[in-house]
Amino acid sequence: MSFFIDGNTGKWEVVLGLEVHAQIKSNSKLFSTASTEWGGDPNTQVELVDCGMPGALPVINEFCVNQAILTGLSINAQINEKSIFDRKNYFYPDLPQGYQISQFEYPIVGNGFLMIETEDGEKRIGITRLHLEQDAGKSIHDQDIKNTLIDLNRSGCALMEIVSEPDLRSPEEAALYVKKLRSILRCIGSCDGNMEKGNLRADVNVSVRKPDSEMGTRCEIKNVNSIKFIQQAIEYEARRQVELIENGKEIIQETRLFDPNKGETRSMRGKEESHDYRYFPDPDLPPLIISKEKIEELRKSLPELPDEKKSRFISEYNLTNYDAQVLTDDQYVSDFFEEVVKNRDPKLVVSWISVELFSFLKKNDIELSESKISPKKIANLLDFIISGKISNRQAKELFEPYLKSNLEAKDFIEKMGVEQVSDEGEIEGLINRVLQQNPKMVEDYKNGKDKLFGFFVGQVMKESKGKANPQIVNKILQDKLA
Amino acid sequence: MSIDNSIVRKVGKLAKIKIKESEEKKLIDELNNILGWVDELKKVDTEGVEPMLSVFNESMNMREDKSDSKFSNDLITKNSPEKKAGFFVVPKVVE
Amino acid sequence: MTDFSTIDITEAKKLLSQKKITATELTEFFIKQIEEKQDLNCFITKTFDTALKMAKRSDEKIQNGSDIGLLEGIPIGMKDLFCTDGVKTTAGSKILENFVPFYESTVSQNLWRNGAIMLGKTNMDEFAMGSANTTSFFGNVLNPIRSDDQKDLVPGGSSGGSASAVASGQCFAATGSDTGGSIRQPASFCGLVGLKPTYGRCSRFGMVAFASSLDQAGPITKTVSDAALMLQSMCSYDEKDSTSSKKLIPNFSDYKKFDLKGKKIGLPKEYIIDGLNEEIKKKFDHCVNVFRDCGAELIDISLPHTNYALPTYYIIAPAEASANLARYDGVRYGLRENSENLDDLYQITRASGFGDEVKRRLIIGTYVLSAGYYDAYYLKALKVRQLISNDFKYAFEKCDLILTPTTPNVAFPIGEKQSDPLEMYLNDVLTVPASLAGLPAISVSAGNNNKNLPIGMQIIGKPFEEISVLAAGSAIESSKEEK
């Protein structure tokens, strides 16, 4: 199903390209030894390079180089054996050197792609390149009326800039792309992918065109830091552009910001001059040469990537594509699932995790990795279901309080007094009592009123206060009424 | 290629150096002189020649990922002409 | 007080080890010299208290006979381009007038670790841009040698303060920096030894950057022997500098054992230009004979792209400088001219803080990198740089060392050559090529002209062969004594 903007003159196609900035999960910065920890006091994680002191020199962090290569390998990309660092020159208070060390003509990673799972099936999204660059510091505009305050703790942190081809055609596809990229990054551990903390952010390039015509002028929406905002920004911007064109106006190629409060994009003031970045190779850094051996060594160290894991889940656990997708979206969830499913029926585990557990998490607005729920907690409960000591239905009813309690499954079930009765003798006794108390119904049933079977089951359950094992009740009742 | 008023003003903006109108002419003359001389390079045949990025031919020294923030906020802001609560201060920037 | 200005470091070390003199005595002597010769304006910052403390420590070590560094007790000047922890470092500029680093450059750190004593920070052309030390915010430096008609002469630049201080006996030696000739040219104008090592020998960490692919630290001394000692103390592999060389550092003083016999000395025809000053040519010819007498073979060579070196340099150096000096914006340190909006803050601070020559080069540098001009200028210059470097590579297949005059002229009166920047740039015509190729090069005094002004000769060597360069310099130095 394609996404279109309905304009006055017909349908408009949206063409999107994303530049994702992912902060590398390293201890120190890309070219300095300063710490990258989040939330430090202002200007306490700053080395000479990070505040542009005279005589400061950059020295590259090998871990960051490796992460870029690993990320490149996991997006099926070509790793360039020689890459160059360039200076991107412009003045801004959060850019202390007056230039950013980035990569222009010869990035460390070239063409790649990743697959997204849309409603219409798999779609290949091309990736143009991935390069390493320094992050800028933070400008704080709202703490002082007359001034902007600058904190350089973030200045110099390692970023991977991942540039997609303009292959995306809808807000939904953009969201899927970012989610997929994020799950890959988290899987290999190169980035936390935490958009609220700002260690994953996207610049969204939006243009519109009538289907099958030339690409329109694009606008760049900078620094969008949530998937929801990305979708909203695209919707707004695409409509804005359609409206402008249909009213005979031109789209000015410009940089815009998304305002989440208003749900609108607006032009960035102060950066209107077209930037002449005067890129040139940084003379403080020799070319980065990566050997074939190094690339192979890193390739071998790659963990199982989300797509591989999904395929394996489908074949190993006999899951549907949908279930496998849900469970492999997030590394933590898939690890959790695999822990629980050991020696247990996958179908049962899937439904409990992807339906019951996920509902709980959503209701309480918490991620699985943030909850204190362990695989063992779920597994223990499932064992009670599997052994027949409680019914599926009972377990569902008790799930939320169980999760919130500190008790182990055994103690919790005991405390709740809901241990299912599976003793055949006991159940037979209950059934006999019910049949004795309802002789007319028994006769009616024997005379053909099959529906009364359900009545008897209901009565037995009532007698047992819901604890009787339904399968056993059914079996014995059937025998008795035969 | 020669420099005129508009170019010198544009370049002055890129370099963030305020050039007074009274300084413009002298600067333009000096720069044109230098560029004329530098234009000599056009005579050199550089077909097939690789640009020399640096005379340094050794490999990139790569550092271990150990963090070590040696400098306190006091030192980092020690020479700062203006600071507030540990931050650097500039006139308000509107984005 | 004994006059220590007539001895060099090598001699002083002997006397110190023999306990005939103390470091404190030496330091007190030079402090007095500095105070007496203030009119030469060699020092921007004097660190006399620190110097005396350092001298005391050196004396203790020498007394105990333990942990004695290569330059223990030797007072020197430190070019104000090297960041010194707790000591004002200005790079000769108003924009850094009151800047006090809280870190030390590797080169200066190495010197202090080797026992050298810091007398003060020497004056220099602003951000090392200049060939006469006439662009410093802190005023011109004078050459201690005066012209016959008593005019003030330039000491050369950008390390003018260092050269003048050494030549006038205010310190034993001083550090300089060389990007296009800023060590060799002032050494030549002041009758001293100036050594620019191979690019990568000395660390650039903590050195205020001018043109990163060209800048190199090096010593300015009275003798070749001192230059070897100073270089030994200054250079080290530094993991804080990604362009620092890991090549083995030899004992530079081994130049004394280097035999020039059988070595080939190249004489590049492009350097012996028509119209070269007669007296400089004479000195050059004299040096040729010196080498012949040593048993070396003289061969004619060609470095065909020599004429393009200066224009190439004046594209590459300003381009790199335009980025290196972008950090001086009034925000985190240095001069700030307050204003209501950010753009004015930048523009006015930089217009006010930078001198004319710096501004000129920053504008050129920004221009040659800008859209539309990058290919024609910057990229072109990088290619010509390759050709210039290749010239030397091919030449060094035929010879071991190259002999040239250091400068096309001698020290000139202050105020001359000020009308046209180009005239000033031409001072560097003979030194720039070796900078572009990153080669080690020394300037040694070959005597004076008939007006008693020093003439310098330059020897360029193969990468990392400073020993051969020192040896050749020493041969010229010895011949001078004989004259």
Residue in A with minimal Cα distance to B79: A53
Selection from C155, C97, C102 nearest residue C121 by Cα:
C97
Please tell me whether residues A370 and A453 are part of one structural domain: no
What span, in angstroms and rounded, lies between the C-alpha atoms of C225 and A35?
A: 45
Q: Given an 8 Å threshold on Cβ–Cβ distance, is A42 in contact with B85?
A: yes
Q: In which element (H, E) is residue C478 found?
A: helix C466-482
In B, which residues are within 8 Å of C377 by CB distance?
38, 41
Q: Are residues A104 and A15 in the same domain?
A: yes
B neighbour chains, 3+ CB pairs within 8 Å:
A, C
Residues A353 and A467 in one domain: no
Judged by CB atoms closer than 8 Å, whether chains meet at B16 and C329 is answered as yes
Tell if the CB–CB gap between C342 and B16 is shorter than 8 Å.
no
* Contact residues for A109 (Cβ-Cβ < 8 A; gap 6+): A68, A69, A71, A72, A77, A78, A79, A80, A129, A130, A131
Q: Tell me the C-alpha distance between A358 and A353, whole Å.
A: 6
Return left, alpha or beta for A50; rule: phi > 0 is left, psi -120 to 50 is alpha, else beta: alpha
For residue B71, give the nearest of A42, A46, A278 by CB distance.
A46
What pLDDT is recorded for position A48?
97
Degrees (nearest 5) of the Cα angle C473, C479, C483? 145
Residue A165: CB atoms within 10 Å: 16
Shortest distance, CA C362 to any CA of chain A (angstroms): 13
Instruction: Please state, in angstroms and as integers, the Cα–Cα distance from residue C311 to each residue in A231, A272, C88, C307, C393, following that order.
Output: 53, 35, 34, 8, 21
ipTM: 0.95
- A56 is written with which tokens? 């400061």
For testing contact with chain A, the best of B88, B92, B94 (most A CBs within 10 A): B88
Interface residue of A24, A43, A190, A276 to substitute, partner B, most B CBs within 10 Å = A43
Return the residue matching tokens 């003083």.
C253
Strand partners, C84: C87
Residue of chain C minimizing CA distance to B48: C383
Extract the tokens encoding A265. Answer: 């994009």
Q: Does C213 touch chain B (CB under 8 A)?
A: yes
Residue C83 pLDDT = 98
Q: Taking CB atoms and an 8 Å limit, are A286 and B89 in contact across chains?
A: no
Report d(CA C77, CA C200) in Å as an integer: 22
Question: What is d(CA C161, CA C40) in angstroms, rounded to the nearest whole number?
Answer: 8
**Residues in CB range of A181: below 8 A, 6 or more apart:** A20, A22, A75, A114, A162
> C360 to chain B: which residues are within 8 Å by CB?
27, 30-31, 34
Report A:110-149 residues touching C (Cβ under 8 A).
148
Q: Do A42 and B87 touch (CB under 8 A)?
A: yes
- From C102, C342, C344, residue closest to B93, measured CB to CB: C342
Residues in Cβ contact with C139 at an 8 Å cutoff, skipping those fewer than 6 apart: C41, C123
Last residue of a domain, one of A387, A416, A445: A416
Place of tokens 């020498």: C62
Chain B contact for C127, CB < 8 A?
no
Cα C170-C172-C173 angle, rounded to 5 deg? 105
Taking CA atoms, A337 is separated from A352, A354, A370, A384, C323, in Å, by 10, 9, 16, 18, 53
A472/A405 same-domain check: no
Of the two residues C428 and C225, the one the predictor is more confident about is C225
Q: Cβ distance B53 to B34 under 8 Å?
A: no
Same domain, A194 and A169: yes
Which residues of chain C does A276 touch, with a Cβ-Cβ cutoff of 8 Å?
A: 370-371
- Per DSSP, the residues of C78-126 read EETTB-BTTB---TT-GGGTT---SS--HHHHHHHHTT-EEEEEEP-SG
The residues facing C121 across adjacent strands are C45, C78
| Orientation of helix C23-36 relative to helix C9-17, angle to 10° | 140
Q: Are residues A77 and A157 in the same domain?
A: yes
Spatial distance between the Cα atoms of C201 and C244, rounded to a whole number of angstroms = 6
Q: Is residue B12 within 8 angstroms of chain C, CB to CB?
A: yes
Q: Are C146 and C164 spatial neighbours (Cβ–Cβ below 8 Å)?
A: no
What separation, in Å, do the N-terminal and C-terminal C-alpha atoms of chain A show? 54
The pLDDT assigned to A410 comes to: 83
Q: What total number of domains does chain A contain?
A: 3
Tokens, residue C175: 């550090």
H helix intervals, A341-374: 346-350, 358-363
Chain A residues inside the 8 Å CB shell of C329: 91, 98
Which residues, 6+ apart, have CB-to-CB distance to C262 below 8 Å?
C295, C296, C297
Interface of C with A (CB under 8 A): 82-83, 89, 91, 96, 99, 101, 103, 105, 204-209, 211-213, 239-243, 319-320, 322-323, 325-327, 329, 331-333, 342, 346, 366, 369-371, 374, 378
C337 to each of A302, A457, C341, C345, C362, how far by Cα in Å?
Answer: 53, 89, 11, 6, 19
What is the mean pLDDT of the segment spanning C257-277?
92
Are the beta carbons of C237 and C246 closer than 8 angstroms? yes
Cβ contact A43–B54 (<8 Å): no
Which residues in C lie closer than 8 A to residue A51 (C-beta atoms)? 332
Residue B13 C-alpha, separation from nearest chain A C-alpha, in angstroms: 10
For residues A412 and A443, state if they share a domain: no
Across the interface, whether the CB atoms of A44 and B73 are under 8 A apart is answered yes
Q: Whole-prediction pTM value? A: 0.90
Q: How many residue contacts between A and B have a Cβ separation below 8 Å?
A: 135
* Of residues A98, A278, A280, nearest to C327 (C-beta): A98
Name the H helices within C142-203. 160-167, 184-190
Q: What is the CATH number of the domain that holds A436?
A: 1.10.10.410
The structure tokens 């870190």 sit at C103
Interchain pair B11, C366: CB under 8 A:
yes
B31 close to C (CB below 8 A): yes
Q: Which residue has the higher pLDDT, C291 or A390?
A: C291
Given A35, A257, A271, which is nearest B67 (Cβ)?
A35
Residues making up chain A, counted from first to last? 482
Other residues' Cβ atoms within 10 Å of the Cβ of residue B77: 23
Binary contact (B73, A63; C-beta < 8 A): no
- CB–CB contact A34 B86 (8 Å): no
pLDDT number for residue A482 = 76
Q: Which of B61, B77, B94 sits opposite A43 (nearest CB)?
A: B77
Name the residue of chain A whose CA is nearest to B70's CA: A47
Mean pLDDT to the nearest integer, C209-232: 98
pLDDT in tens, C308-364: 999 999 999 999 999 999 999 999 999 999 899 999 999 999 999 999 999 999 999
The burial of C280, by beta-carbon neighbours within 10 Å (0-12 exposed, 13-18 middle, 19 or more buried), is given as buried
Integer Cα distance of C336 and C313 in angstroms: 31
Res C52 pLDDT > 80? yes
Rounded Cα distance, A128 and C441, in Å = 46
Position of tokens 């707004």? A236
Contacts of C308 in chain B (CB under 8 A): 40-41, 44
Contact A225, A23 (CB under 8 A): no
Least CB–CB distance from C322: residue in B1, B7, B15: B15
- Domain range for A326 is 304-416
- Is residue A333 domain-shared with residue A451, that is, in the same domain? no
Residue of A nearest to B93 (CA): A148
Q: Give which of B2, B10, B11, B71 to mutate to test C binding, by max C Cβ within 10 Å.
A: B11
Cβ separation of C320 and A286 shorter than 8 Å? no
Of the listed ranges A79-83, B27-31, B73-77, C58-62, the one predicted with least confidence: B27-31
* Inter-chain residue contact A148 with B92, CB threshold 8 Å: yes
* pLDDT, position C483: 45
Neighbours of chain C (3+ CB pairs under 8 A): A, B
User: Residue C77's pLDDT is what?
Assistant: 98
Please tell me the distance from the alpha carbon of residue A441 to that of residue A457, in angstroms, as a whole number: 12
pLDDT reported for residue B95:
66
Which residue, C141, C139, C131, C129, is CA-closest to C165?
C141
Instruction: Give the Cα separation of C5 and C31 in Å (integer).
Output: 12
User: Are the beta carbons of C329 and A286 separated by less than 8 Å?
Assistant: no
Measuring CA to CA, which residue among A335, A336, A332, A331 is closest to residue A306? Answer: A331
CB pair distance less than 8 Å for B91 and A147: yes
C348/B contact by beta carbon, under 8 A:
yes
- Say whether both A268 and A368 belong to one domain: no
Q: Is C55 strand, coil or helix?
A: helix
For residue A43, which of C192, C273, C245, B83 has the smallest C-alpha distance? B83
Residue C319: list chain A partners with CB under 8 A.
Answer: 280
What domains sit in chain C, N to C, each tagged with a CATH number? 9-247 (3.90.1300.10)
- Separation between Cα atoms, residue C7 and residue C172, nearest integer Å: 8
d(CA C112, CA C102): 16
Backbone angles phi, psi at C463, to 5 degrees: -50, 130
**Sheet with C193-196: strands ordered across:** C43-46, C117-122, C75-79, C173-178, C216-221, C193-196, C441-448, C454-461, C401-405, C264-268, C297-301
CB A24 within 8 A of CB A166: no
pLDDT of residue A413: 80
Same domain, A101 and A242: yes
3-class secondary-structure state, position C3: coil
For C342, name the nearest residue in chain B, comparing CA atoms only.
Answer: B91
Q: Is residue C133 within 8 Å of residue C154, measured between CB atoms? A: yes
**Quick one: A264 and A389 in the same domain?**
no
Alpha-carbon dihedral sign for residues C282, C283, C288, C294? positive
Taking CB atoms and an 8 Å limit, are A35 and B69 in contact across chains?
yes
Longest dimension (CA), chain A: 101
Contact A265, A257 (CB under 8 A): yes
- Show pLDDT as tens, one digit a residue, over chain A (482 residues): 688 988 889 999 999 999 999 999 999 999 999 999 988 999 999 999 999 999 999 999 999 999 999 999 999 999 999 999 999 999 999 999 999 999 999 999 999 999 998 988 899 999 999 999 999 999 999 989 999 999 999 999 999 999 999 999 999 999 999 999 999 999 999 999 999 888 999 999 999 999 989 999 999 999 999 999 999 999 999 999 999 999 999 998 889 999 999 999 998 864 545 679 999 999 999 999 999 999 999 999 999 999 999 999 999 999 998 899 889 888 889 999 999 999 999 999 999 998 999 999 999 888 888 888 999 999 999 998 888 788 888 888 889 888 888 888 888 887 777 677 778 888 888 888 888 888 888 888 888 888 888 888 888 888 887 778 888 888 888 888 87
Query: Is there a contact between C180 and C317 (Cβ–Cβ < 8 Å)?
Result: yes
Q: Indicate the average pLDDT of chain C.
A: 95
Read off the amino acid at residue A64: C
Nearest-CA distance A276 → chain C (Å)? 6
Indicate the residue type of A200.
Answer: L
Tell me which residues of C are annotated as active site: 79, 158, 182
Closest CA relative to residue C122, chosen from C88, C154, C153: C88
**Shortest distance, CA C327 to any CA of chain A (angstroms):** 5
How far CA C131 is from CA of B42, C95, C178, C278, C356, in Å, comes to 26, 20, 11, 22, 14
Instruction: With CB atoms and an 8 Å threshold, state whether B65 touches A60.
Output: no
Same domain, A23 and A157: yes
